[in-house]
Copies of this chain bind each other. A is one copy, B any other.
């Protein structure tokens, strides 16, 4: 450990209670971004963050947008030092609290609770993302308290619309691209891999969504009169959908796997070491058999292999009881998670061609596209990535790993495409944090070690 880091870590330990109080103060603000009723609360949260950054000595202000304010702060690093410019992203808005009756306490009256698994910070936003955002601010505060400056140039960037689709994000980033153009973007909105294993997400899957509506007869028919002779669109649809995967679980669409890379030996070994147990992962939701393509590991199925999933299907009578209707229409919403260089537009075209080729001559089909984004694979060549991985490994019981993420985190792609900066996604949430659900919590240990982790990362990446 470097001589300059040890006193910072000590300061973090001794300042934990005040740090917690600052987080609880932020959590008391009802910054639900999706509900216009909480517009003033969102502004209040932004203002609190501006004040808090200023209290550390950071030049900060909030920026109005058509939606909720953005917060930006900036501080220079040591003069003449060859240290990187870091841009830190987090979001101060939170999910709605419905269904409120499932909360054991007021979601906006947070507190520290003792549980069988240790102490937790309970309340909306504790893990997503106020608690995570504050880990970085607290690390900076401790560093400033000890050294009177930060070890490198840092731009702070907090959004208030992450839970409501980020309508203002892209225009704002374009307008302020010069300020956001650091060397590496740090994003703290992800989790640990397993209980004690920190992780840096370097692969995010892309998405291609499509709704397919098949029409047979012009109107719903009586199955007594027409059943047997008239085309049933549910039968047409189910037959088409059933043909999209083969018996091994592989997607059958032509060209679907174009651009899917082989997993590198390096990542394969790192992932092997993570000792992921699919039965345990699936056991949490009542399943136990990995349902992906035969011959792939569980982590490949969720991180590095594409999927084609049916998200919704409907047709005919779906109410209570029974109607012997022979429906006019049936439809499906489906989405492909993409990896590597898969091209969502090419896959959409292949899907259209397949559906049309399998459509009976007297049926028609409508397609409604719903999003198309390529997978993000972070360039991890900047030395900060390996330095951060080492720093995280030093703080936690297990070695940190570069991992994948099955979902998509748009901000990472925005940093790459709008500002040209690779994002380093590290966070300290745990799987049982119940984000987006009632009784959200953040482990006190995660908050504490999260702050210490960022102090270590600041130290590691700014050795100069």
User: Which residues of A are in contact with B by a Cβ distance under 8 Å?
Assistant: 205, 207, 209, 211, 216-219, 221-232, 234-235, 237-239, 241-243, 245, 278, 281-282, 285-292, 298, 301-302, 305-307, 309-318, 321-327, 330, 332-333, 335, 337, 360-362, 370-371, 405-408
- Asked if A312 and B323 sit within 8 Å, CB to CB, the answer is yes
Whole-angstrom CA separation of A207 from B322 in the bound complex? 12
Q: Which residues in B have their C-beta under 8 angstroms from that of A323?
A: 311-312, 333
Query: Max chain B CB contacts within 10 Å: which of A230, A237, A292, A370?
Result: A230
Which residue on chain B has the smallest CB distance to residue A318? B314
- Asked if B406 and A228 sit within 8 Å, CB to CB, the answer is yes
Whole-angstrom CA separation of A282 from B227 in the bound complex? 11
Whole-angstrom CA separation of A221 from B307 in the bound complex? 15
Whole-angstrom CA separation of A362 from B278 in the bound complex? 13
- Asked if B316 and A315 sit within 8 Å, CB to CB, the answer is no
Q: Number of copies of this chain in the oligomer? A: 2
Contact of A289 among B242, B305, B360 (CB under 8 A): B360
- Asked if A291 and B229 sit within 8 Å, CB to CB, the answer is yes
14 other contacts beyond A227-B335, A234-B313, with CB at 8 A cut-off?
A211-B322, A227-B337, A227-B406, A228-B291, A228-B305, A231-B287, A231-B289, A234-B241, A234-B310, A235-B245, A289-B362, A311-B317, A313-B330, A316-B333
- Asked if A302 and B225 sit within 8 Å, CB to CB, the answer is yes
- Asked if B312 and A317 sit within 8 Å, CB to CB, the answer is yes
Q: Which residues in B have their C-beta under 8 angstroms from that of A225?
A: 302, 406-407
Which residue on chain B has the smallest CB distance to residue A289? B362
Contact of A287 among B230, B305, B311 (CB under 8 A): B230
Whole-angstrom CA separation of A286 from B218 in the bound complex? 5
CB distance from A376 to the nearest CB of B (A): 13
Closest 7 CB pairs of A and B: A224-B407, A242-B242, A312-B316, A218-B286, A234-B310, A322-B370, A312-B317
Whole-angstrom CA separation of A152 from B292 in the bound complex? 74
CB distance from A328 to the nearest CB of B (A): 9
CB distance from A330 to the nearest CB of B (A): 7
Whole-angstrom CA separation of A324 from B226 in the bound complex? 36
Q: Which residues in B have their C-beta under 8 angstroms from that of A289?
A: 231, 360-362
Query: Max chain B CB contacts within 10 Å: which of A211, A228, A245, A337?
Result: A228
- Asked if A406 and B314 sit within 8 Å, CB to CB, the answer is no
Q: Which residues in B have their C-beta under 8 angstroms from that of A218?
A: 285-286
CB distance from A283 to the nearest CB of B (A): 10
CB distance from A23 to the nearest CB of B (A): 26
Q: Which residues in B have their C-beta under 8 angstroms from that of A311?
A: 223, 234, 316-317, 322-327
Which residue on chain B has the smallest CB distance to residue A334? B234
- Asked if B285 and A230 sit within 8 Å, CB to CB, the answer is yes
Whole-angstrom CA separation of A209 from B321 in the bound complex? 10
Contact of A229 among B211, B227, B281 (CB under 8 A): B281
CB distance from A415 to the nearest CB of B (A): 19
- 6 A-B residue contacts at CB 8 Å? A228-B292, A228-B337, A229-B292, A235-B241, A237-B238, A237-B313
Q: Which residues in B have their C-beta under 8 angstroms from that of A306?
A: 228
